[in-house]
Structure 1
Amino acid sequence: MRSALSRVCGLILLAWGLGFVLFAVTLPQPAGEERTDAVVVLTGGAGRIERGLEVLKRGWSRQLLVSGVDHSVKPHEFALEYRVRPSRMACCVTLGYQAIDTRSNAEETAEWLRHERVKSVRLVTSDWHMRRARMELDRMAPEGVAIVADAVRTRPSFSALLREYNKLLARSIAGALGAR
């Protein structure tokens, strides 16, 4: 009995380890010039907001949602910080203040996608965070919305990758069990 249990535990550990290596060496990449109705940036990492604004500037998307903005940030402060013209802020940039984590980013984004009647969206977040962010958004986005993953390249630490991999596994298992 103990031998069978040891083998099962060993196989689980081996699968986890191989999965982690695969996760770490195949981080998502930036998207190309695909055009989408909108771009959504999840705050929390360097280069994310700049990438979203670049997508808007290049005309690859018509509108931008920045999800997870701190409540203390005012639109004019954001515009000054990122050099966004007032006319661009007025027409095309929405600051979302509802989200505090990846799951609530997906909730905030899904609500905004429904409200704006978006049919295609470019999701911008860090490469190490993209898989979980995409999984959460896939679960909550309105049916039929096409999602283009646009990962910002980073140099994550081993511990950051390990934490994110475990979070991804936990959320995948919870999703498979029907937990929200």
Structure 2
Amino acid sequence: MFRRAAAFLVLAWLFGFLWFAIALPGPLGDRETDAVIVLTGSKGRIEHALEVLEQGKAERLLVSGVDPEVKPGEFAAQFGVSQRMLECCVTLGYQAYDTRSNAIEAAAWVTEKKAKSVRLVTADWHMRRAVLELSHALPNDVKLERDAVPSRPSFGALFLEYHKLLARFALNLWDRYA
């Protein structure tokens, strides 16, 4: 009996990991939202979020997890953002240092801005856990759209992120039923 249960768990873990690694989320497309939230990290995330904003697919942008040493002018220069765009539409979030604190920072910003639909921009391999964290923190009436930036994650990055996702899922279950 123990062997069968152990074999089942190993197979469930293996097939879960294969699904996680092969079926990575993709870009959202042309759908419009009230706001965009981008989580800092791998290359292409901020550039994609700014492109969404410039194309008018959203009215405002939160860049969550900005290094406290980065000044708005430096950010604008690095990413080619006009002063007008920076002042009207871009918020640099300096409070977050991990995915969970990204969700807390983003939820506070969404509530303040009264956004009802949000496009989340992050790397494809990071999207599932980011959505889990953010959907846990956001008000229930906010629609969350996934806009994954395609990447080429290493096996190690996928392996680690899969286990982080499992751990967060387990913690959510524990919080719900404990």
Aligning the two structures, in what range does the TM-score lie when normalised by the shorter sequence? over 0.9
The structural deviation recorded for 1:107 is 0.4
Whichever residue aligns with residue 13 of structure 1, its letter is V
The structural deviation recorded for 1:143 is 1.7
Any residues of structure 2 matched to 1:18-167 within 5 Å, and which?
Answer: 18-167=15-164
Secondary structure of the residue aligned to 2:175 is coil
Q: Distance in 1 between matches of 2:19 and 2:12?
A: 10
The structural deviation recorded for 1:5 is 1.6
TM-score for both structures, normalised by structure 1: 0.96
Residues 29-48 of structure 1, C-alpha deviation per residue, up to 9 Å, x if partnerless?
00011100000000011100
CA RMSD, Structure 1 to Structure 2 (Å): 0.8
Secondary structure of the residue aligned to 1:177 is helix
Q: Distance in 2 between matches of 1:17 and 1:142?
A: 34
The structural deviation recorded for 1:6 is 2.0
Whichever residue aligns with residue 143 of structure 1, its letter is N
Q: Distance in 2 between matches of 1:56 and 1:102?
A: 22
Q: Distance in 2 between matches of 1:27 and 1:15?
A: 18
Q: Distance in 1 between matches of 2:82 and 2:11?
A: 52
Structure 1 stretches of 4+ moved >6 Å:
none
Between Structure 1 and Structure 2, how many residues are aligned? 176
Unaligned runs of 5+ in 1: none
Unaligned runs of 5+ in 2: none
Q: Distance in 2 between matches of 1:99 and 1:142?
A: 19
